[in-house]
Amino acid sequence: MGDWGGSDKPPYTTDREKTTAKGMDDVAKATDAKFALALGDNFYFSGVDDVTSHRFKDTFEDVFIGDYLQSENYFRLISGNHDHNGNVSAQIAYSNVSSRWYYPSLYHSFEETFGKYKAMFVMLDTVIISGASETSEGVPLTGANYIGGGGADSDAQIDFLNKTLASSDADIIVVAGHYPVWSVCEHGPTDTLIDKVKPLLEKYGVSAYLSGHDHCAEVIDDGTGVIFHGIGSANFNDASLTHADMIPEGSLKFHSGDDEVGGFARILLKADTGGMVVEHYDGHGSLKYAADEVAKRVK
């Protein structure tokens, strides 16, 4: 799920977030889901100040209450632009407070096995790479015009991504970041990610790139072998197709943003084939779209 972070005003959650949380629990129960990826904008609109913030309880603990969302390290996180308006270090430190909150560092990776196969998940902080998505006056920017990315911290993260992908023997690799690479929705494609991240995804045969930021659900297949999934509608829904002409022609396979009930996706790792299927759901847990199976990587 992406962009799930409630509200900065009482009761610090939204109907869509609560609907999404219930839908996720229902799907987790039906499918025995092992963990959830949280793709940033965890706390609207200015993150948290410190690890004791009431927002952890009001926006997370008291919302994701389902029995099938309670396992240790169940929620595996990265930050978004709104989180970077606050203290991201406090979100990382919350890993020592809540057993189901897993956020070890700004960017990180982990592996899971399924049958005789292995999947690797690489979680990026794309705000460090690409910069701020609005001006200091709060004016939203498109992905071609973000401010303040790059520099040594960005270079270190790109180096981490390159080395992590180069050394992986996983059958499936999923890379996730808050900002999209491709998107037809309100912010559009992120130029710095197209320049710096996308070539590595292609070089190392990454199976899928997951993102939030744009408050829609979308699937884009540009023919490179990497499938791009936008999963940014857990808390807001926006049906914008503003940037439809900025992605490769014919690459948009699915788009939804007008459900007004939130939304999330599910990753199915197939123990019989070593492949992966990504399914998109509305907040009620109703299946909206299932992407074609991605075959296991050729190593």
**CATH number of the domain enclosing 272:** 3.60.21.10
Tens digits of per-residue pLDDT, 13-24? 999 999 999 999
Whether 296 maps to a domain, the answer reads: no
Task: Give me the mean pLDDT over the 244-252 stretch.
Answer: 98
Confidence of residue 299 (pLDDT cuts 50, 70, 90): confident
Count of domains for the chain: 1
Tens digits of per-residue pLDDT, 182-197? 999 999 999 999 999 9
Query: What per-residue confidence (pLDDT) applies to 131?
Result: 98
Q: Kindly tell me if the per-residue pLDDT of 258 is higher than 90.
A: no
Query: What per-residue confidence (pLDDT) applies to 245?
Result: 98
Q: Kindly tell me if the per-residue pLDDT of 260 is higher than 90.
A: no
Query: What per-residue confidence (pLDDT) applies to 100?
Result: 99
Range of the domain at 210: 15-290
Please identify which residue in the block is written with the tokens 């996706």.
265
Q: Kindly tell me if the per-residue pLDDT of 259 is higher than 90.
A: no
Whether 3 maps to a domain, the answer reads: no
Whether 165 maps to a domain, the answer reads: yes
Q: Which long-range contacts (CB under 8 A, 24 or more apart) does 93-101 make?
A: 93/51, 94/51, 94/56, 97/51, 97/56, 98/56, 98/60, 98/61, 99/72, 99/73, 100/69, 100/70, 100/71, 100/72, 100/73, 100/74, 100/75, 101/60, 101/73, 101/75, 101/77
Tens digits of per-residue pLDDT, 114-137? 999 999 999 999 999 999 999 999
Q: Mean pLDDT for the chain?
A: 98
Give phi and psi for 294, each to the nearest 5.
Answer: -95, 125
Whether 55 maps to a domain, the answer reads: yes
Tens digits of per-residue pLDDT, 65-107? 999 999 999 999 999 999 999 999 999 999 999 999 999 999 9
Whether 5 maps to a domain, the answer reads: no
Whether 1 maps to a domain, the answer reads: no
Query: What per-residue confidence (pLDDT) applies to 119?
Result: 99
Q: Kindly tell me if the per-residue pLDDT of 152 is higher than 90.
A: yes
For 156, the token pair is: 């270190």
Whether 298 maps to a domain, the answer reads: no
Query: What per-residue confidence (pLDDT) applies to 154?
Result: 98
Give percent of the chain above pLDDT 70: 100
pTM given for the model: 0.98
Whether 211 maps to a domain, the answer reads: yes
